[in-house]
């Protein structure tokens, strides 16, 4: 029995709100249950120095949590003067995942910067960020297309992400905070709409896990991500 | 004529939403037109070292803007490794203003930390922050009272803040971004519910201003702040 | 009665010494009683990146205190690895004030950097800095004119600054440290030689202040600044 | 055909040298082919603040690369003033992995700090680090036992790590730099001596990977790690 | 012939002004020709953590240059966020030298912090700093003695410092900036009043130097430092 | 009697291993007894900004210690976010010394970066670094010559370095850690193969030293460095 009463393979209520703020080229509020993340996509002309003159674009991401998005206030990273290891790890993951969704050559010399800022955290902030940022990125691409700055479609495929884990011996889908902080194993999966794997990051928090559990978790992730991608499609069709 | 069509002494639509996020002891979304700020109040036992053993509490504030809360993306302060001068100036102002609302002796050895994070900016983010943070602080005090951690009422008075300025030769109230970036003079005022002045910070951006303009701006601020405090009261009565 | 025995509207002994150090294009030691600040103006060709190609100049300022300029030694900011919020706030104020004295278009693509370093502090270091830096800036302009690098006069007007406050219920002019640390209200005012207001920054340290007190403080500031500008003129005429 | 001529499931020559430097309680040079890492284990009494008084120990890790351990010189992190995201990610992984090998309760209030410093890099530095650090940690435990500071054996199980990937469509074991920089998929696996999974971190660098490829990679990893653990045992038996 | 017309073994005009600022327990302006340094000594009770409970005191130093103490403006270290290598090297030298003048056991658990801030630089700022700081330290000791906080005399001996060098093939004493920036060899010497060597730091800037030149430089330094110590004595006798 | 049983003027066993790692243009492991330092020389085209367009090259150095190269673990500088004063002082010394060995004009617009990383410390790490880095630099020059990027020989002379000191009243050569931490005087000397002095840095740790001791130390250094240079020659001849 899960604390939330959900089935083992059941997602939380997921909601994707586009045009959430007014300035960004793509702006999405994504909610996985009580986890709420603002994902803003900003387009700029030009690329970072290491890509100059190669005729391709770039996609990158930054991640942050409001100090009181969590149960106990965390110190503000801007005031401590550096981003923590967890933050850097997550924003590298988001950037890498979104670059897998796009043909950088077709994007041309534009940079899309994704900012994922967690307003309220209840487990799964990185997977919600990736799922929301993908929609914001599509809106940013559409913005470039509407403005005739881009005549091709650099989007290769939608991607989405969900967490899975082993909780009280049972593989479960989309862990909330209570499950996450007590899980034996925690795994984040990123997949494409055609079912390809982009990232698999599994960690034994307590006992090691075995291949059978790994397979069950991946099964859960596959069907959860399929649902998320369907929700992205519906949102983008509005 | 103001760009928004407002009267010279007219506030934007102001909205105060309490219990905006679920973790903080006080959590307010404050909107001054298109300016939206999340104000979270966090209570912790104990005080900073310089106050230890004096039997009094402390109130302090931090301020941040989401990178894409503005028209052009600003660099993330956490990633640049330091808070800019403007940020530090604003958070010092917020903290100072809110300490004027409270009797620190009556608060006892608790610290209330206000986090004001701008989700969307359209001028007046610091005045909206102060106005919203005051409501969040009251909720944090009520939290302590409900939990019997506090038996007195440390709130001396509500405070609120608004900007005034000289725009095209005319003193106006509550400048939005278009006015703010073209104003000859910009002034932020913080007042108590009984009409006392807490902070007056006026800056000539173009031509110097004179005593007559100063007085008209203060008149506008007085009546604007009276309305804001009425809105705070209504919100707190809900 | 003021601790120093001064009248309510009486400045401390003010002294302006030009050519105080030998390397800077303008170098002033300014003394407001026991407050002593070295104000050096440095001229460089070129402007910061954000102004390139606009055919205008720039004026900016930095501020620091020697660690033992104060009664208790303060940590050295260079060694702590960052400038504090108060320092940033003050140097932003100095820069903004001095830009109001000058026509940046007429300056051409030169940058004047003002360094205000407090040798000994006894209250009013920021107002002394502004007052002294204005003289140093004029010397830097004259240097450019002597060298035929500048054929116009970019100085629009002299500016000067003084603090006022409410001390034991009484509006007073030019607070020294004892008054400053016990004042109910502290206000810094910057004005032009023609009496225009550039900056008004008033803060209630204890009780709020009212419009009548505000007006008396501004009256004191007006006459004090008029005297300071007369002293600047005399110094520059030598 | 692999660039090195190795079989698809063949490790590079692996060498573990204990007592490599003289000061550390455990000091190992680990070589995976041309990848060479010094793994030093340091024992200190006491634990970090967040664990104080809980009667348990702690294991943590730091990772660094000599600036010229790579083909092109990398900037020295100490001189740039911060550790990069990749470094933080790797040292978090090493620490997490080694904590899975040990019963922190049985360790008592000691901290074992692992320092993994890459002398020469040729792919797989993080997996070599984990494999070598485990041996250094065992030596540090033995040091405590010899000194009678520890009377129990906190080691639960040996762990080791290896990289696997998809190179030119073919799942392969223990990628060297040439393979690593051209692989479609790169995956790092950490396992226990009893075959349990501790960490699985797979990333599609080019095309997504599928479940079949994932399973083949895990098969390779399993047998590679079994060999590594045998080498650890032999080394520790000397 | 030296640019200044001085004899090879002639010091610049040296001036030591005590009680230069009013807050510090010892405050000296030291001038070696156009080089001017404020040396403030601050006394605090207690010692750094690494000395706690050993019944001894500590002497340490910090060094800084005003940004425009030099011919071209240098960036402010506080604003760049770190002290440069040269600064750290100099302040370590000053601290080490002054600790040689004092019996830390007799000082008891007090810390004397020396701040040497260069107001105007013309070569030899570190040697002037050491020479001036020694006088400021003596005044700080006398302050403790006057206040009955210290009943012994921890001063073992006066120390002073001067630069010597090889300029155009000729060993010379007390180089000014023009000589310093063109010298083949530059050497800083710190000695006690009884003629013992505390520090010798010689660097070949161009051609190597030989033992004969080294000896001539040390001869110059010996007699220059004897004069400086005589000046310190006279100053302290006033 | 020295703790190691060595004669007063006897070096420790010194070993120079070239081609120690495979990526660097010059890579040396230098051992002075138990002190072991990896000295890597990296060649890049171009020079730092302050030398651009002057047709000359540059040589610079960085220095680091592995955290557990010492008896007690030192904090990792990369993780503390800055290099300490001792580190900066040493790397400035190494760079200065090596620039004395080379004709920067003849080097042309190349930069040689020396990285000296201490693997194991037992006193004299800076002198070993200089001695080893000189050999690595020669290998880097040969690399440029082999590649026809350099047709001249910019090496003016070999340089080497050794420490001398006064230990229990006796001048001794090449102090190990036990001697170094108990010496009355510690002096580092850098000399050329023709016997010229490049650097002399002597510090009285306890009692002052006199001219006679200074001369004996320099005598020791002269003959020790002559031996070191012979070892460099032999190594380079292999």
Question: What mean pLDDT is predicted for residues A74-84?
Answer: 95
The C-alpha atoms of residue F40 and residue F29 are separated, in whole angstroms, by 9
- Contact criterion met (CB < 8 Å) for D192 and A208: yes
Residues of A in contact with D88 (CB under 8 A): 84-85, 88-89
Partner residue opposite E196 with nearest CB, options F92, F191, F209: F209
Residues A161-199 pLDDT 10s: 999 999 999 999 999 999 999 999 999 999 999 999 999
Domain that holds residue D30: 14-237
List the Cα angle C46/C50/C53 in 5-degree steps.
55
pLDDT for the residue numbered C1: 86
Question: What mean pLDDT is predicted for residues D104-121?
Answer: 97
pLDDT band with cut points at 50, 70 and 90 for residue E196: very high
| Parallel, antiparallel or unpaired: strands F159-167 and F185-192 | antiparallel
Residues of B in contact with A115 (CB under 8 A): 66-68, 73, 76
Residue D108 DSSP SS3: coil
DSSP code of residue E155: B
Q: Is A124 annotated as a binding residue?
A: yes
Unique residue bearing structure tokens 């302060």: B77
Query: Helix crossing, A125-146 with A211-237: angle to 10°?
Result: 30
pLDDT for the residue numbered A206: 84
Q: Quick check: is B206 in a domain? A: yes
CATH label of the domain that carries residue E215: 3.30.230.70
What is the rounded (10 degree) CA torsion for B173, B176, B180, B181?
-160
Residues C137-194 pLDDT 10s: 999 999 999 999 999 999 999 999 999 999 999 999 999 999 999 999 999 999 999 9
The answer, yes or no, to whether residue E73 has pLDDT greater than 90, is yes
First-last CA distance in chain F: 36
- Contact criterion met (CB < 8 Å) for A38 and B66: yes
Strand boundaries in B46-123, DSSP class E:
58-65, 110-120
pLDDT for the residue numbered D223: 97
Q: Quick check: is D3 in a domain? A: no
Residues B83-121 pLDDT 10s: 999 999 999 999 999 999 999 999 999 999 999 999 999
The C-alpha atoms of residue B230 and residue B216 are separated, in whole angstroms, by 22
pLDDT for the residue numbered F113: 98
Residues of F in contact with D44 (CB under 8 A): 73
Residues D15-34 pLDDT 10s: 999 999 999 999 999 999 99
Interface of D with A in 160-219 (CB under 8 A): 187, 191-192, 194-204, 207-211, 214, 218
pLDDT for the residue numbered F1: 86
pLDDT for the residue numbered B1: 86
Ranges of residues in chain B with a pLDDT under 70 are: none
Partner residue opposite D197 with nearest CB, options A191, A196, A209: A209
pLDDT for the residue numbered B206: 84
The answer, yes or no, to whether residue D1 has pLDDT greater than 90, is no
Q: Quick check: is F9 in a domain? A: no
The answer, yes or no, to whether residue A215 has pLDDT greater than 90, is yes
Q: Quick check: is C84 in a domain? A: yes
Residues C68-97 pLDDT 10s: 999 999 999 999 999 999 999 999 999 999
List the Cα angle E206/F27/D78 in 5-degree steps.
75
Phi-psi region of A19 (alpha: psi -120 to 50; beta: other; left: phi over 0): left
Residues D49-64 pLDDT 10s: 999 999 999 999 999 9
Q: How close, in Å, is residue A130 to chain D by CA atoms?
A: 15
pLDDT band with cut points at 50, 70 and 90 for residue D106: very high
Closest CA to D205 of A143, B113, A197: A197
Q: Quick check: is F212 in a domain? A: yes
The C-alpha atoms of residue C135 and residue C230 are separated, in whole angstroms, by 12
Q: Quick check: is F4 in a domain? A: no
Q: Quick check: is D230 in a domain? A: yes
Give the rounded percent of residues in chain F with a pLDDT score beyond 90: 98
pLDDT for the residue numbered C213: 97
What is the b/e burial string over A198-214, where b = at least 16 CB atoms within 10 angstroms of the residue's CB? Answer: bbbbbbbbeebbeeebb
pLDDT for the residue numbered F229: 98
How many domains does chain B contain in total?
1
Long-range contact list for A231-235, CB < 8 A, 24+ apart? A231/A14, A231/A16, A232/A16, A232/A131, A232/A134, A232/A135, A232/A158, A232/A160, A233/A158, A235/A16, A235/A18, A235/A135
pLDDT band with cut points at 50, 70 and 90 for residue A1: confident
The answer, yes or no, to whether residue E76 has pLDDT greater than 90, is yes
Interface of F with D in 89-118 (CB under 8 A): 113, 115, 117
The pLDDT profile of chain F, 238 residues, written as one tens digit per residue, is: 899 999 999 999 999 999 999 999 999 999 999 999 999 999 999 999 999 999 999 999 999 999 999 999 999 999 999 999 999 999 999 999 999 999 999 999 999 999 999 999 999 999 999 999 999 999 999 999 999 999 999 999 999 999 999 999 999 999 999 999 999 999 999 999 999 999 999 999 989 999 999 999 999 999 999 999 999 999 999 8
**How many C-beta atoms lie closer than 10 Å to residue A98's C-beta?**
24
Q: Which of F33, F78, F82, F112 to mutate to test the interface with D (most CBs of D within 10 A)?
A: F78
Residues D208-217 pLDDT 10s: 999 999 999 9
pLDDT band with cut points at 50, 70 and 90 for residue A132: very high
DSSP code of residue C25: S
Distance of CA B6 to the CA centre of its chain: 22
Interface of E with C in 40-79 (CB under 8 A): 40, 42, 44, 62, 64, 66-71, 73, 76-79
pLDDT for the residue numbered C206: 84
The pTM for the full model equals 0.95
Q: Is F124 annotated as a binding residue?
A: yes
pLDDT for the residue numbered C181: 95
Partner residue opposite F70 with nearest CB, options D23, D77, D79: D23
Question: What mean pLDDT is predicted for residues E9-16?
Answer: 98
pLDDT for the residue numbered B20: 98
What is the b/e burial string over C17-50, where b = at least 16 CB atoms within 10 angstroms of the residue's CB? Answer: ebebbebbbbbbbbbbbbbbbbbbbbbeeebeee
Closest CA to B88 of A66, E78, C83: C83
In the numeric block, which tokens belong to residue C110?
Answer: 């030169």
Question: What is the ipTM for the molecules in this complex?
Answer: 0.96
Residues of D in contact with A218 (CB under 8 A): 211, 214
F149 to chain E, any CB pair closer than 8 A? The answer is no
- Contact criterion met (CB < 8 Å) for C22 and E120: yes
Q: Quick check: is F215 in a domain? A: yes
In chain D, what are the helix, strand and coil shares in percent, each to the nearest 5?
A: 35, 30, 35
Residues of F in contact with E196 (CB under 8 A): 204, 207-210
């Amino acid at each position: 029995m899960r604390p939330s009463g959900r089935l083992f393979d059941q997602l939380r209520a997921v909601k994707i709100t586009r045009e959430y703020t007014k300035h960004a080229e793509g702006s999405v509020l994504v909610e996985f249950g009580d986890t709420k993340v603002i994902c803003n996509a900003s387009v700029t002309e030009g690329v970072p120095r290491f890509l100059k003159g190669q005729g391709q674009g770039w996609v990158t991401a930054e991640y942050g949590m409001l100090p009181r998005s969590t149960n106990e206030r965390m110190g503000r990273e801007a005031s401590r003067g550096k981003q923590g290891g967890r933050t850097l790890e997550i924003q590298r993951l988001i950037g890498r995942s979104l670059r897998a969704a796009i043909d950088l050559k077709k994007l041309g010399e534009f940079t899309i910067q994704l900012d994922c800022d967690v307003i309220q955290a209840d487990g799964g902030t990185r997977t919600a960020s990736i799922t929301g940022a993908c929609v914001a990125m599509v809106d940013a691409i559409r913005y470039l297309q509407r403005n005739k700055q881009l005549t091709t479609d650099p989007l290769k495929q939608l991607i989405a992400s969900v967490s899975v884990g082993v909780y009280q011996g049972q593989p479960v889908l989309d862990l909330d905070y209570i499950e996450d902080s007590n899980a034996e194993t925690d795994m984040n999966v990123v997949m494409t709409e055609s079912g390809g794997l982009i990232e698999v990051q599994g960690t034994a928090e307590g006992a090691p896990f075995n291949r059978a559990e790994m397979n069950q978790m991946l099964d859960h992730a596959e069907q959860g991500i399929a649902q998320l991608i369907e929700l992205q499609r519906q949102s983008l069709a509005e």
